[in-house]
Structure 1
Amino acid sequence: MGKPLKRHPAFVPVSRDHHFGLLLVWKIRQGREIGIAPDRLFNYVKYFYSTHMEPHFSLEESVIFSYMGKNDLLRKEVESQHRDLRDAYKELREFKKDDLLNKLNEFCQMVEAHIRFEERKLFQYMQVELLNKELEEMEEKVAAIHKPVTEDWEDKFWVK
């Protein structure tokens, strides 16, 4: 694999969000490792999903993906991943304690794979394929609606 491209400023706020998504995965894994009750882990996932993930998905879908053709294979893939993540989140609500840990683990694997896909494939592809004018326009639109992640969660279950 070649040297990664420098991230265009249009993608920087979204990439920062991805950092926090990877932190979500790490925190849930830490919590599992030290035996935190599944309900506490799920409460954090509920908070993070509604406060950060869903708004992030909406921004990507309304702004970033709109710069790709509707039939673009990478766009179809990433939109499918968003649907799958939404479905997986809804399923988390239906599991009892015994199954919840396994489902949380599956959800974390999906989140991590999705972020890696966007960072390593989708954004790299878009930076090469889009015109500078399109990237600059996207940057303005993202800046106008992006809300940075601020962590407002008191239960620091991941701290040993």
Structure 2
Amino acid sequence: MKHHKPQKRHIALQPLSREHHHGLLLCWKIKMGFKKNISSERIWKYANWFYETHLIPHFEIEEKHVFPILDNTNNLVNEAIEQHRELQMLFTESNKATNTLSAIEVLLEKHIRFEERVLFPEIQNMASEAQMLDIEKMHQSESFQDNLTDAFWK
């Protein structure tokens, strides 16, 4: 396995990186649900809650306030937006199958790794301090409130 050195994240992007951590935990929870033979309905209930409560607002902040730093013609931005759309399609698919959950788990992890290792470093390199201050003012980290109604992963 390739080891990635942790990157120093600008303070303005740290709340988004913390949200990415919770997204990776969703991936882990889906995997644990599969490992424990939890019904896909139970996993979907949590995944849908996470999507509506955390991912939709997260995607909106990135697309409206962070990605424009690089411009919407940038290939990295286009790739991230394409992944957002794919994830939205998977989460809103009417057929709530196990293989869709599996696809979400794989794509979400890939997407977060891409943003953390490739896109965010590029944004940090290109952004002015004023742009970073705008992001920082606009998006403060909220403490993550998990939905433990059915903690199937434990």
What is the TM-score normalised by the length of structure 2?
0.91
User: 1:89, 1:107 within 8 Å by CA — same for their partners in 2?
Assistant: yes
- Name structure 1 gaps, 5 residues minimum: none
Partner residue, 1:140: 137
| Residue 123 to residue 85, structure 1, CA distance change in 2 (3 Å) | same
Spell out, residue by residue over 1:84-116, the C-alpha distance to the aligned partner (whole angstroms, 9 max, x if none). 11011122x324xxxx22221111001000000
* Partner residue, 1:82: 84
Is the deviation greater in 55-64 or in 11-20? 55-64
2:108 paired with 1:107: no
**Does the 8 Å contact 2:87/2:104 carry over to 1?**
yes
| C-alpha contact 1:14 1:56 (8 A) present in aligned 2 | yes
Percentage identity across paired residues of the two chains: 37
Match of 2:75 among 65, 73, 76: 73
How many Å apart are 1:4 and its aligned residue? 4.7
Who is 1:59 aligned against? 61
Q: What is the aligned counterpart of 2:121 among 124, 127, 131?
A: 124
Partner residue, 2:30: 28
Quick one: distance in 2 between partners of 1:32 and 1:153?
Answer: 18
Question: What letter matches 2:60 in structure 1?
Answer: S
Aligned-residue CA RMSD (Å): 1.7
Which stretches of structure 1, 4 residues or more, deviate above 3 A after TM superposition?
1-5
Offset of 1:23 from its aligned partner?
0.4
TM-score normalised to structure 1 length: 0.88
Total equivalences in the alignment:
152
- CA apart distance, 1:136: 1.9
Q: Secondary structure at the match of 1:153?
A: coil
Counterparts in 2 of 1:32 and 1:5: CA distance versus 1, 3 Å: closer
Which residue does 1:48 correspond to in 2?
50
**Distance (Å, rounded) in 2 between the aligned partners of 1:19 and 1:4:** 13
Structure 2 residue runs of 5 or longer lacking an equivalent are none
Q: Report the alpha carbon displacement of residue 12 of structure 1 after superposing the two structures with TM.
A: 0.4
* Matches of 1:3 and 1:32, distance apart in 2: 30
